[in-house]
Chains A and B, each alone.
Chain A
Amino acid sequence: MIDARFQGRGIGRAALLLVIDQVRRRGIFKTLLLSYLPGPGCPEPFYRGLGFRPTGRMDGKEVVPRAAARSDRRRSANGSPCAVISALFAFLHFLAVFGIFAAVFLQWRTMSPAPTLVDARRIQASDRVYGMLAIVVLVVGFLRVYHFEKGKAFYAANPFFQAKLMLFLGVGLLSIYPTIRFLKWRAQTKQGLAPVLATKEYKSIVMVLRIELLLLLATALCASLMARGVGS
């Protein structure tokens, strides 16, 4: 156990590595076993990262993974439900983030002082996709914080997590302006007409899209720093 005030900083991991190291150095053990209750938020990814693999054994309601105590580094390939679901959510999260970046980039590239009807419809469509993906990112992101990965204490304490959440919400707020403009175009696009926009409107939309792209890049940087435990 790690005291609540000291959690989320890798101390448990460091301590367990010390234990594993001591056990290995004695050289008389074949395996190291542990047990935990499986389920959402279970420490499976944590122990897996330390080399513990499923054995199929149970101790009451708890599963019993093992790690080799001799330094044979055979890696078993069989995934366990926890790791697979956690990986799937990570995949979904990344996919949505790539989609968001692509959607905003497409809007930025397609924007012009006098967009054609095709351009305008493309921009409107990518804005809808952006909106849906933003919801997916937030929902999946919070599921990952609360049910998978490093535990919510880690995220709550990490400045880069807070920064990336703020940046992403900033992108969301900024996107309100172009979204409102794109929705106004519908009066024209529904009748099969290209929207007419003032130079000022064009310039401010492009500027907002540019800032959104920059903020998204900064968000990705914060995410990488956070995932490596910088600042925690």
Chain B
Amino acid sequence: MVTDHNKALADESLSSVSLREITADTVLAVLRLAVAEDQKSFVATNAVSLAQALFAPEAWYRAIYLGDQPVGFVMLEDQTLRSRRHRPPKSSSGAS
């Protein structure tokens, strides 16, 4: 963890900031990210946000990367996702 941190610190360029989809391989790294102790009242933990996203079709979220290191998480509400996903999928009714 410390070496990852130093590697990312050496990578100063903000042009290496990217938004990436969270995958099964990266979700734990995203869950481990946390703000400073005195900032915790301002924002939900990533675990809570991802749990809420599971039940909110309009939630759009990405991991924030600095180079190849996950350093943050962003989530927003995209109203177009709600209408798209709420259209009843006629052909696949009954699918789990």
Contact = CB atoms under 8 A, between A and B. Distances in A.
B74 A3 contact: no
Interface residues of B, number: 24
Interface of B: 5, 8, 12, 14, 17-19, 33-36, 39, 42-43, 46, 62, 64, 66, 71-74, 76, 80
Nearest to B17: A14
Contacts of B46: 1
17 contacts: A1-B46, A1-B73, A2-B35, A2-B71, A3-B33, A3-B71, A4-B34, A5-B71, A6-B66, A6-B72, A7-B35, A10-B14, A11-B14, A12-B64, A12-B72, A14-B17, A19-B74
A110 B17 CA distance: 54
| List of 9 A-B pairs having minimum Cβ-Cβ separation, nearest first | A14-B17, A2-B72, A3-B33, A4-B36, A6-B71, A15-B64, A14-B14, A1-B43, A18-B19
A68 to B, nearest CB: 16
B14 A153 contact: no
Interface of A: 1-7, 9-12, 14-16, 18-19, 22, 28, 36-37, 153
Contact of B72 (A1, A28, A36, A153): A1
Secondary structure type dominating chain B contacts = mixed
B72 A3 contact: yes
B42 A37 contact: yes
Contacts of B8: 6
A70 to B, nearest CB: 15
A14 B8 CA distance: 15
Contacts of B80: 28
Main secondary structure of the interface of A (DSSP, over half): helix
Given A11-B17, A15-B19, A4 B35 contact: yes
Nearest to B49: A1
Contact of A15 (B17, B33, B42, B43): B17
Contacts of B71: 2-3, 5-6, 11
Contact of A4 (B19, B39, B62, B73): B39
B19 A19 contact: yes
A1 B41 CA distance: 12
A19 B39 CA distance: 22
Residue picked from A5, A12, A16, A36, most chain B C-beta under 10 Å: A5
Contacts of A12: 64, 72
Given A1-B33, A3-B71, A11-B72, 10 more contacts: A1-B43, A1-B73, A2-B35, A2-B72, A4-B39, A6-B71, A9-B12, A15-B74, A18-B17, A18-B18
Q: Which of A3, A4, A10, A14 has the most CB of B within 10 A?
A: A3
A153 B42 CA distance: 16
B19 to A, nearest CB: 5
